[in-house]
Amino acid sequence: MDRREPNLSKKWLVTLLVAGLYGIVLWQVSQLVRERTLDEFNTAGQRQLNIYVTHLKGQLEKYEFLPELLSTNARLVELLRRPGDRQRIDALNRYLEIINTIANASDTYLMDREGLTIAASNWQSEKPFIGRNFSYRPYFQQAMLGHLGRYYALGITSGKRGYYFAYPVRQMDEILGAVVIKVDLTTLEQQWRGRNEEVVVTDPEGVIFITTRPDWRFRSLYPLSESDQERIDKSRRYSGASVEPLNIRQRTTLSGDSRLITFGPMRGMEHLSGDEAYLVQQVQMPEAGWRVHLMTPLTQVQRRIGWSLMITTFAFAVLVLLGLFLQQRQRRRRERARYEVQANLSLREARDRLEQRVEERTVDLRQEMAERRRMEHALRQTRDELIQAAKLAMLGQMSASISHEINQPLAAIRSYTDNAKQFLQQDRCDDVAWNLDQIGELIDSMTQISSQLKLFARKTDGQRSPVSLHNVIEASKRVLLPQLSRTGTEVRVQSLREDIEVMADPVRLEQVLVNLIGNAVNAMEKQTDRWVSIGIECENRQLRLNIRDNGPGISEEHLKRIFDPFFTTRETGLGLGLSISQHIIESMGGTLMARNSEQGGALFSLQLPLADRV
């Protein structure tokens, strides 16, 4: 919670800032676009306004010289001098009609110095001007003063809007009357209509008389002063109609002749239209005393602002999205980097921990191995000692036979010595020598027995080497000789190649054979016919020795246990011989098994690997 709260408020702050920035940007853009568009409209409007003015001027200038030209016509002077001449009036009416048609003017007419119309182009129309007095019109008054009279007004008779040019008709220096040409301006309006902007032409009092907006016609752009209204009434410019101002709601001056004006709906039209805002530009037409106004609706400005705001919003949204995207990407990158650092750290930690464990385990293992080696060594030593002890025990058991075997030659030596002594007294030197030879031979054979026993009794470490099987069997027989001879047991060895070699420790293999043959001798104690046969087979680089006797064999019950340590059926037995023999053979990579022979008697099978040389 503590960590989330600041994040949340930070998010809100950023959102607020972005929203604020968005607002400011929108405002700035709208201002800028408005300014630019108004500038643009202003320049374009100025150009357009000049075109309208030029057009308007051109239209008027076409007629400006015509009254002056007509005033020089003698027919007009003649008629003014003799106004009652009907023939002349008729002729002039026709003439004026022709001129009017050619000039494409609205009306052309002649007024006497009282302001009475005496001839007119519209003499044939329903409401001809002839007989009407227009002396109140300013154009007449101006002409009578000797100038070119110009005036704009709504025709009192025709009800048509027109522009009047009047020129004095003179004879010598005397002004007899005035000739007038009225120009219809309604066609101008039609030509100007249908554009985006509105065109408004106002008279010196500010009354609109030409406009592309028919509903604005004869209204004043601004409220009229009383004197203005009075002047309008007097000239009957608008046939006595009262002039109402347009409903201006707001007016701002932009620069010089440019203004921003908002018009409200006109009285009684409120339900039909709303406010209308325009950029209003104006230019003076001093010849006519007019002002031409160009009004460009601001809806176009609003539309542009709207578009700009939309584009800005879009751009802003793109920017915000881009920002969010970049922020997201950066955050992801940071997270990945953090994750990688963490992963690296935990990997390193895991590796360190593993290394530490391995080291601890290695130390443990090393200690364990050392311990095991120590134990193995101790075990091996114990086994070696046990083997040696068993061998010595075996020798001990054989001691009776051995001492018997030694006592015999000793007794013989005794008697040979006595004989030699007697022969010496009798000086029978040859006989003495023979007796001494016998003694020597007996000593030799005793030495042989003793050295054989000594060899047998020596302690070895179980190292294997190629050993001649023949030699081992012979040595075993020699060790057993006292026992064999005492019991009259025959050891039958199958014909044996002397070069057969097995991989073994010769002393230990000898110990095994002595034990096996010795056991057989012991088993056959109670019988008279005693023999042990040693069969030899070589197969698949293995040697098999079958040691068979003709004793009673081994009962099934005992057969299962004879290799167990301390199992014995003999009173003086230790029960270690077979278990140690089996251990010796297995440690040499061989096997030792027992069964009963089919012919009777026990059969021990010993298998050992042959040495490579064979």
CB-based burial of residue 247 (10 Å sphere; 0-12 exposed, 13-18 middle, 19+ buried)?
A: middle
Residue 252, H or E segment: strand 248-255
Binding to ligand ADP by CB under 6 A, coded x per residue (else -) over 430-459, reads: ------------------------------
Whole-angstrom CA distances from 401 to 38, 111, 488, 501, 520 are: 145, 194, 12, 31, 15
Q: What is the closest distance, in whole angstroms, from the C-beta atom of residue 606 to ligand ADP in the complex?
A: 13
Q: Nearest approach, Cβ of 552 to ligand ADP (angstroms)?
A: 6
Residues 6+ apart with CB under 8 A from 331: none
Q: How far apart are CA 305 and CA 297, in angstroms?
A: 14
Are 151 and 139 a contacting pair, CB within 8 Å?
Answer: yes
Rank residues 283 and 574 by Cβ distance to ligand ADP and give the closer one.
574
Q: Is 568 in the site for ligand ADP (CB under 6 A)?
A: yes
**Identity of the amino acid at 221:** L
Q: Which two tokens stand for residue 116?
A: 């009475």
Using the contact rule CB under 6 A, the part of the chain among 48-56, 299-307, 333-341, 519-527 near ligand ADP is 519-527
Q: Does 569 bind ligand ADP (CB under 6 A)?
A: yes
**Count of residues engaged in binding ligand ADP, rule: CB under 6 A:** 19
Choose which of 154, 224, 261, 520 interacts with ligand ADP (CB under 6 A).
Answer: 520
* Binding-site member from 570, 586, 593, 595 for ligand ADP (CB under 6 A): 570
CA-CA distance, 140 to 257, in Å (whole number)?
A: 33
Site membership for ligand ADP, residue 577 (CB under 6 A): yes
- Distance (Å, whole) CA 348 – CA 344: 6
Give the ranges where 177-298 is alpha helix by DSSP (H): 186-192, 226-235
How far apart (Å, rounded) are the C-alpha atoms in residues 192 and 378? 130
Q: Are 210 and 189 in contact (CB under 8 A)?
A: yes
Stretch that binds ligand ADP, among 65-73, 172-180, 331-339, 571-579 (CB under 6 A): 571-579
Pull the structure tokens for residue 148.
Answer: 């070119």
Regarding 574 and contact with ligand ADP (CB under 6 A), the answer is yes
Distance separating alpha carbons of residues 107 and 184, to the nearest angstrom: 9
With residue 409 as reference, give the H or E element that holds it: helix 299-425
Which 8-state DSSP code applies to residue 126?
A: S
CB of 538 to ligand ADP, least distance (A): 24
Establish if 562 lies at the interface with ligand ADP (CB under 6 A).
Answer: yes
Q: Considering only 214-222, 322-330, 504-512, 572-580, which stretch makes contact with ligand ADP by CB under 6 A?
A: 572-580
**Which one of residues 567, 589, 597, 614 is an interface residue with ligand ADP (CB under 6 A)?**
567
CA-nearest of 547, 528, 536, 450 to 489 is 528
Q: Least distance in Å: CB of 493 to ligand ADP?
A: 17
Binding mask 303-342 for ligand ADP (x = CB under 6 A): ----------------------------------------
Contact between 169 and 178 under an 8 Å Cβ cutoff? The reply is yes
The window from 138-146, 357-365, 422-430, 548-556 that contacts ligand ADP (CB under 6 A) reads 548-556
Give the shortest CB-515-to-ligand ADP separation in angstroms. 6
Question: 128 or 577, CB closer to ligand ADP?
Answer: 577
When the beta carbons of 183 and 523 are compared against ligand ADP, the nearer one is: 523
Residues 6+ apart with CB under 8 A from 365: none
Residue 519 engages ligand ADP in binding (rule: CB under 6 A)? yes
Does 513 bind ligand ADP (CB under 6 A)? Our answer is no
Q: Does 523 bind ligand ADP (CB under 6 A)?
A: yes
Q: Which stretch binds ligand ADP (CB under 6 A): 102-110, 177-185, 347-355, 561-569?
A: 561-569
> What's the distance, CA 59 to chain centroid?
74
Options 243, 282, 549, 610; binder of ligand ADP; rule CB under 6 A: 549
Single out the segment in contact with ligand ADP by CB under 6 A; choices: 22-30, 378-386, 469-477, 570-578. 570-578
Range 141-144, long-range pairs (CB < 8 A, 24+ positions): 142/166, 143/167, 143/168, 143/175, 143/178, 143/180, 144/113, 144/168, 144/175, 144/178
Query: Nearest-5° angle of CA 27, CA 31, CA 33?
Result: 115
The reply on whether position 573 binds ligand ADP by CB under 6 A is yes
302 vs 579, which CB is nearer to ligand ADP?
579
The single residue listed with the structure tokens 């990945």 is: 336
Contacting ligand ADP (CB under 6 A), which of 578, 585, 588, 606? 578
Q: Does 575 interact with ligand ADP (rule: CB under 6 A)?
A: yes
Residue type at position 443: I
Q: Residue with structure tokens 């290695």?
A: 362
Among 201, 554, 584, 585, indicate the residue that binds ligand ADP (CB under 6 A).
554
Compute the least distance from the CB of residue 483 to ligand ADP, in Å. 13
Q: Is 207 in the site for ligand ADP (CB under 6 A)?
A: no
Task: Find the part of the chain contacting ligand ADP (CB under 6 A) among 51-59, 477-485, 563-571, 582-590.
Answer: 563-571
| Residue positions counted in the chain | 614
Nearer residue to ligand ADP within complex by CB, 138 or 551: 551
The answer to whether residue 602 forms part of the interface with ligand ADP (CB under 6 A) is yes
- 282 or 388: CB nearest ligand ADP: 388
Q: Which two tokens stand for residue 563?
A: 């290799």
244 burial (CB, 10 Å; 0-12 / 13-18 / 19+) is middle
Per residue, the 3-state secondary structure of 325-341, as one string, reads HHHHHHHHHHHHHHHHH
Question: Which range touches ligand ADP (CB under 6 A), out of 14-22, 26-34, 352-360, 515-523?
Answer: 515-523
Binding site for ligand ADP (CB under 6 A): 515, 519-520, 523, 549, 551, 554, 558, 562, 567-570, 573-575, 577-578, 602
